[in-house]
Every structure is written in structure tokens, then in C-alpha cells.
């Protein structure tokens, strides 16, 4: 699968993350065929202007915001998530046990060509 196609699948999947929930880079990568967590990060950093993707809802495996060099996006991401009702603890992390998105339904995954089992 070409990188462009993988990014399209990442964006489609990320658009399903509801307000008040987050997903991790690895979580999304495990659902998109041929994808890695790093690819999800690159995709989130390179969202085209014409795409409306809730990039702020994708965090690292520790429930923290991953820093993007030379950018104020960490503060922006935190502010947006807090407005969506997602709190951060004193270490700057989100409680993934409470706020992690469970993912789309099995039917949606199968219908749209995503992984539906262990990868």
C-alpha cells in the first residue's frame, strides 16, 4: 500500500475519534494495514489544509503529547484537549484507562478494509 493510501486510512480512522477521547499513535497503527506509529505521527504532522482531522486527539503511548520540534503545537494540543474535557495530571499525561477511545466497531473496520484481529 502506498504511503498516500496509508495516510488516507489514518485520516479516516482519526476522524472517528470522538470528542472527549484520545487514541495513541500505536493504537491507530495497529488498525491500519502496513502502518507504524511513526507513520501515524508523520501523517498527523502533515495533514493537508483541506482535511479536517482531529489531530489533537492522537497522543503517545504514555498518554502524553509528543513534542514537535520548533512548534507551539504542544500547548495548542493541550488547550484543545482540555476544552474537550480531557484533563492532564501533574506529569502532563492523560489517564488512558479512562479517556482512550475503544476504536470503531468491528463492522466498520471490516467494511472499510482495516485490521480486525491481532497484528
Q: Measured between alpha carbons, how far apart are the two ends of the chain, in Å?
A: 16
* 63-107 tens-digit pLDDT: 999 876 556 677 899 999 999 999 999 999 999 999 999 999 999
Phi-psi region of 4 (alpha: psi -120 to 50; beta: other; left: phi over 0): alpha
- Domain spans, the chain: 3-101
Specify which residues 59 forms β-bridges with. Answer: 24
Spell out the residues 6+ positions from residue 61 whose beta carbon is closer than 8 angstroms to its own: 24, 25, 26, 37
* 8-36 tens-digit pLDDT: 999 999 999 999 999 999 999 999 999 99
Three-class SS state of 18: coil
CATH number, domain 3-101, options 1.10.340.70, 3.90.79.10, 1.10.10.10, 3.40.50.2020: 1.10.10.10
Amino acid at each position: 500500500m502506498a504511503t498516500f493510501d496509508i495516510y488516507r486510512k489514518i485520516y479516516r480512522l482519526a476522524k472517528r475519534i470522538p470528542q472527549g477521547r484520545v487514541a495513541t499513535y500505536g493504537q491507530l497503527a495497529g488498525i491500519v494495514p502496513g502502518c507504524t506509529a511513526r507513520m501515524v505521527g508523520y501523517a498527523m504532522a502533515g495533514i493537508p489544509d483541506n482535511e479536517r482531522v482531529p489531530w489533537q486527539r492522537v497522543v503517545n503511548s504514555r498518554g502524553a503529547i509528543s513534542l514537535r520540534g520548533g512548534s507551539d503545537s504542544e500547548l495548542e494540543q493541550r488547550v484543545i484537549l482540555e476544552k474537550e474535557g480531557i484533563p492532564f495530571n501533574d506529569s502532563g499525561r492523560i489517564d488512558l484507562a479512562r479517556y482512550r477511545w475503544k476504536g470503531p466497531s468491528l463492522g466498520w473496520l471490516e467494511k472499510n478494509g482495516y485490521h480486525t484481529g491481532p497484528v
